[in-house]
Structure 1
Amino acid sequence: MDNAPLIALRINHKTLTLKQLLQRLRIDASLAAISRCKDDLTIECWAESLGLTADTAALQTAVTRFRRANGLLTSAQASQWLTNHGMELEDLASLFRPQVLKESIAQHLVSDDEVKRYFLECAHQYDRAEISTIATDEYGIAQELLFRVEEGSDFHALAREYSSDAETAKSGGYAGLIGRADLSPEMAAAVFNATKGSLLGPFEQRRKYNLVLVEALYPAELSEEIAVDIRQQIFQYKLEDYQRTLNIQEEVWRLGEG
């Protein structure tokens, strides 16, 4: 009798068994997506080729974070959860190993100079503005409110009274921090080329006519948070390039054959 585990995915000599796939599915369906599984096995292959191993402390931190997020605060709770999901502690750790390895590979292969060059090329993506808005259903009303603000009426008071955007009207139209991608191209160009205190519009967006008050502008700076985001983006490009060099067999689609 053949007791060999059924293979769901094979990349070079690395495999993901059907049991492991089902374990992922029981925890979170997104973990069982074939694209996620392919990325995880690719990372395992890549780390091995680079001679990198998962840092034990980082792996333990990831497991501990998961336990806290799922209320598994005691050994008994964790043990029962593992039993319910048909898993051992090592099975759980293996889920987080690719993420830990991913961070190690990114640090190893993505240089600070690459991060800086990417930022200089794409800094506008990280610009932020603080705005307030008034949304109306008719252009004429928006134009009238524009004139009233220009004549000295309080923008925020008018937003509370006239704006049809329920989410922002109560706060005087305050929409908070936004990026270019949050606005239409026309609105983004106007807002990010304006100065603090500028009144702009009306702009048509999603069948509404919008007035925008620019409360503050925050040109992008290469903060630690942005550097981490950029490093991960560059890593993803490199991962996709590396993945194309591998022998990938998606056995999961053939498990029901025969």
Structure 2
Amino acid sequence: MLKRLIGCFVLLILFSFPVRAEKSPVIAKVGPYTLTRDDFQKELENNAQLKALLTLKPDMKKVLVERWVEVTLLGLAGRDAGLEKDPAVRKEIEEQTRMILARHYYEKRILQGLKVSEKEAQEYYLSHRKDYRIPERIKARHILIRIPEGGDKKAEEEALSRAREIRKKLLSGADFAELARRYSEDPGTKDRGGDLGTFSRGQMIPEFEEAVFRLKVGQISSPIRTRFGYHIVQVEAKIPAQIPPYARIKKRVIQDLLEVKKEKRLSALLMELKKKYSVEVHPENLP
């Protein structure tokens, strides 16, 4: 816990300023450093996990302030001990500084002013409609009769016989969900009456999927053999492939276009910077 809390406030400590007149109320002071309410709130806004923790345990705020004081004291002592001159410490400080400068420069050059107009979003949707296509889906239930791992031919024949008997009951009008609760050996769906929910191609094992997608709505399948055993399946609905209207996925379209704009800006910026600064890469030296 202490390590996590220190991590949350390390940037505040590294970049605190000496005590000065503050409009924001002061929470704590240590030597030349100060922690204000604005500092504290800003750190919370940038750390969703910490913010959620404090929502559940408000008293942890006092613990965070105590850790800020403790780490600031240790930081002051380390500075007075001349640790800033230690090559290993100096390298770590430079690494942190590089990461912080990169983040702020990225925010300034890439994110600042980045937006998508309604017209741009609609045009992007129209030119990328196929990317939002939802494939054909099936809603189905199943009853699984397992074959024991390493089971012999007799065990397989017995499982197949049980599956056929259950299918006869279904064809005679028995309720599928009720029989699934009674006979299915799939613990994940048994209590839901065998409900598999909706799924599209590529989400189930091939031999199961191939057989199920050939079924008509309401049809009871013959026993389908997979590595799990024998399945009896009933398709409850088939949902044709579709492309959602713009209004339904507007937020997703806007977010996708924002990502495209970010990538374009970043690519152009990196090309510009590679011309300005020397870059060498030696992948052959990777361990």
Q: Which has the higher contact order (CA 8 A, sep 6+)?
A: 1
Larger Rg: 2
TM-score (norm 1): 0.48
TM-score (norm 2): 0.45
